[in-house]
Amino acid sequence: MDGAGFEDFVSREQAALLRLAVLLTGDRGHAEDLVQTALLKSYRHWGRITRAGDPTAYVRRVLVTTHTSWRRRLSSTEQVVGTLPDAADPAAPREDDDDLRSALRALPPRMRTAVVLRYYADLTERQTAEAMGGSASAVNTQTARGLARLRQLLAPPVLVAEEHP
């Protein structure tokens, strides 16, 4: 096993994997856990992964499939809370970033994954399909529906003028 090669990969790709995970999960804490789990799963088979070529796509797929399995497992144990805790990061994000993140969180998980992989991670349809374990046509469908829903969620409210008699 090439530990130095793995360390180099982590140094080079960890920030990008974390950004992707934050968009998939909507929560930085869960995203950090997700990246660490995906890297651990990948490290166990690092020699085989690197012999097959560039490991980035493989690790990204592990990240997506791990997120999917966590989501399935948690869907039966999640609890709704009445209020949200204070944000852990004191640096206030821009308002439009918050709007986009909220809109992404409102999408169903597979739709959100397709949109994030296609337009944030800038993957091709084929690469996205491989990462999601599906077909390119399913990616197209999920992406088109996701973008349409984002447009609805992010559209400015339409003001209706009142008629005066």
Per-residue pLDDT tens over the stretch 3-53: 678 999 999 999 999 999 999 988 899 999 999 999 999 999 999 999 988
The token pair that represents 58 in the structure block: 């493989």
Q: Which of 74, 107, 134 is the last residue of a domain?
A: 74
Region 154-163: what's the mean pLDDT? Answer: 74
- Count CB atoms within 10 A of the CB of residue 52: 10
Any domain includes 66: yes
Same domain for 138 and 107? yes
Burial of 163 (0-12, 13-18, 19+ CB in 10 A): exposed
Same domain for 68 and 106? no
Q: Is the pLDDT of residue 76 over 60?
A: no
Same domain for 11 and 63? yes
Q: Is the pLDDT of residue 80 over 60?
A: no
Same domain for 98 and 70? no
Q: Is the pLDDT of residue 92 over 50?
A: no
pLDDT digits (tens, 9 = 90+) for 110-146: 999 999 999 888 889 999 999 898 999 999 999 999 9
DSSP per-residue string spanning 55-91: SHHHHHHHHHHHHHHHHHHHHTT----SSPPPPS--S
Any domain includes 28: yes
Any domain includes 122: yes
Q: Is the pLDDT of residue 164 over 70?
A: no
Any domain includes 82: no
Range of the domain at 21: 1-74
pLDDT of residue 1: 52
Tokens 């709704």 correspond to 80
Lowest-confidence range among 6-10, 87-91, 156-160? 87-91
Q: Which of 12, 46, 74 is the last residue of a domain?
A: 74
- Count CB atoms within 10 A of the CB of residue 152: 10
Tokens 């994997």 correspond to 17
Q: Is the pLDDT of residue 99 over 80?
A: yes
pLDDT of residue 120: 87
* Main-chain dihedrals φ then ψ at residue 37, nearest 5 degrees: -65, -45
Any domain includes 81: no
Question: What pTM, to 2 d.p., does this model score?
Answer: 0.67
The token pair that represents 70 in the structure block: 């966590």
Instruction: Give the separation between CA 109 and CA 39, rounded to whole angstroms.
Output: 22
Any domain includes 29: yes
The answer to whether 45 and 2 have CB atoms below 8 angstroms apart is no
Q: Is the pLDDT of residue 72 over 90?
A: no
Q: What is the DSSP letter of 52?
A: T
Instruction: Provide the domain count of the chain.
Output: 2
Band (pLDDT 50/70/90 cuts) for residue 59 is very high
For the domain that residue 35 is a member of, what is the CATH number? 1.10.1740
The token pair that represents 118 in the structure block: 């296609």
Band (pLDDT 50/70/90 cuts) for residue 71 is low
Any domain includes 109: yes
3-state SS record for 111-132: HHHHHHHHHHCCCCHHHHHHHH
- Strands (E) across the chain are located at none
